[in-house]
Amino acid sequence: MATDGIDMDGRVLRAVSNDGDGTVSDATTFRFEQERDLIQARYEGGEIRRGFLVGRSDGETLDFRYTHLTVEGETATGRSVDVVDRLPDGRVRLHEEWSWDSKEGSGTSVLEEIDGEDGDPTDHKPHPMPQPSSRMNEERFMRRAIELAREAAERGDNPFGSVLVHDGEIVMEDSNRVATEDDIRRHPELTLARLAVRELDPEIRSETTMYTSTEPCPMCAGGMVYAGFDRVVYATSGPEIAAFTGHDPGVRAAEILDGVTEVEGPFCHEAALALHESVW
């Protein structure tokens, strides 16, 4: 996105949002703050209830790598994947991927965009709709992870919590204890991965899902490679937390766990985001 999309008071005038059915429309304006080359933004007004963006700038161009919107109970997450090519007039063609999540299910779409001009999704692929009972269970597991995160914050640790689920039951749970135990390893995801390797058979671990209030950091995802869980489902993403903490991990959990564990999220996002907004 070229810098002429920004006016002097620090407002980006255009943002792309996914409406949940594969269509793409203009969102509203958002105000951004820049610290060095990291841009963090909050969407304002319009139909968007919550939203923010994480990106980078070299002073001439903006590279928005992650966008998150919540609109009327639906969550849309966008990521500018690549600059496909540069046009003769200097504009660039971008390839963007969007995913959405609502009570009815999930889906993805791909947007080809020319430098701030909306395009049409070229490929909208709805995911299978989860069964209501399964969905309710998943919400229960994630809300327990978020509650553990809240308990961690109340005792002076960072607000992160995780549970391990096998065959519809929570078999292990933990929360962040880095501050109270003075141990940088005491992230809940890494602790549960370590305990699972020690106490659960590989076959059981391969059928296990971790529900975690926040996307695992690179350290935790690295440990989870050895655990070999079936899935990990997070409520808030690493780039989202970077918007609060100013620390960008740089590597996503899905990259580290590729081919080992399926990574899904965000899920139950509003409750987790509200917790982080109250803590940071």
Tokens of 25: 């429309």
Whether 112 is catalytic is no
The amino acid occupying position 34 is: Q
SS3 112: strand
Phi-psi sector, 246: left (phi>0), alpha (psi -120 to 50), beta: left
Residue with tokens 């655990």: 227
The CB density around residue 199, as the number of other CB atoms within 10 Å, is 11
Q: d(Cα 225, Cα 229) in Å, to the nearest integer?
A: 8
State the chain's maximal CA–CA distance in angstroms.
61
Say how far residue 32 (Cα) sits from the centre of its chain: 19
**Pick from 254, 206, 204, 256: which is nearest to 234 by CA?**
254
CB within 8 Å of 89: residues ≥ 6 apart: none
Q: Which of 138, 189, 215, 264 is catalytic?
A: 189
Quote helix, strand, coil % in the chain, to nearest 5.
Answer: 25, 40, 35
How many CA atoms within 13 Å lie on the side-chain side of 272? Answer: 35
Active-site positions? Answer: 189
